[in-house]
Amino acid sequence: MKFGEKVIKFNKSLEFKGILPENIRIMNPFVENPSAMEVSSKFYHKFYNDNYPRNIILGINPGRFGAGVTGIPFTDTKRLKEICKLDMLDFSTYEPSSVFVYEVIEAYGGVDSFYNDFYINSVCPLGFVIKNDKGNEKNYNYYDSKELQKIVKPFIIKTIKKQINLGINTEVCFCLGSNKNYKFLNALNKEMKFFKKIISLEHPRYIMQYKSGKKTEYIEKFIKSLKSSQSCK
């Protein structure tokens, strides 16, 4: 089975059975939106149709306008169509984090080179939304409450183990989110011994929202760090 086929099988298996805190629901694009499974499967067949080992990059959890729609981490429909050359006709989304990630990918050498070396997912591969007082839903992170974090920890452990078995190099893991996401993942890694080293990088959303004027510097930082990992393969 090729790397991409393993990812597709993993995505199809994603299911969370725990009881979530009030007003919080799980977001599983592969269940809620058949188009996500269809287009993400095309993506993984296209860019992962081999058995090469990859380094892993882990974000927080899927957001509503990126992986929450496409099923592909940090990939909105605009990047999916314009850069990956895959159409998702049912939806049109724009996510700032996706803009930054694909600028990093371009600087790395393009989608073929990047996805040949890296596999991106999230510490928690399914997302969460919470309802506000008006009944509107917004993104919610697994670490936004200690209660939720405790509930999803077994799911996180199980899914990281499964992803390592896809063919992931365990010398180093890149963590997107240098504060709460890194602290949780680093502590979990000390407990579970998933990877020899966790390298933290700023989350793309943080860069685009608060440090956009220094975006070029952050891209250079990412490239330097990512390139250095290839000697570990």
* pLDDT for the residue 177: 95
Residue 232: pLDDT band with limits 50, 70, 90: low
Q: Nearest 5°: phi and psi at 116?
A: -70, -30
CATH number of 3-227: 3.40.470.10
* pLDDT for the residue 202: 97
The string of pLDDT tens digits covering residues 186-198 is 999 999 999 999 9
Provide CB contacts within 8 A for 76, sequence distance 6+: 65, 66, 69, 70, 93, 94, 95, 98
Residue 229: pLDDT band with limits 50, 70, 90: confident
What value does the mean pLDDT take over residues 124-131?
Answer: 93
Report pTM: 0.94
Residue 190 class from Cβ within 10 Å (0-12 exposed, 13-18 middle, 19+ buried)?
Answer: exposed
Give me the torsion for CA of 177, 180, 182, 186, rounded to 10°.
-170
The string of pLDDT tens digits covering residues 22-57 is 889 999 999 988 899 999 999 999 999 999 999 999
Residue 231: pLDDT band with limits 50, 70, 90: low
pLDDT > 90 in the chain, percent: 85
Residue 227: pLDDT band with limits 50, 70, 90: very high
What count of other Cβ atoms lies within 10 Å of the Cβ of residue 132? 9
Structural domain boundaries in the chain: 3-227
Residue 65: pLDDT band with limits 50, 70, 90: confident
Provide CB contacts within 8 A for 56, sequence distance 6+: 118, 119, 120, 121, 163, 164, 168, 169, 173, 174
* pLDDT for the residue 233: 52
Q: Which strands form 127-131's sheet, in the order they lie side by side?
A: 24-27, 127-131, 137-140
What value does the mean pLDDT take over residues 58-79?
Answer: 91
* pLDDT for the residue 63: 86
Structure tokens at 135: 């009944």
Is residue 199's pLDDT more than 90? yes
Residue pair 59/176 in contact by the 8 Å Cβ criterion: yes
Instruction: In whole angstroms, give the CA distance from residue 90 to residue 71.
Output: 14
Q: What is the mean pLDDT of the chain?
A: 94
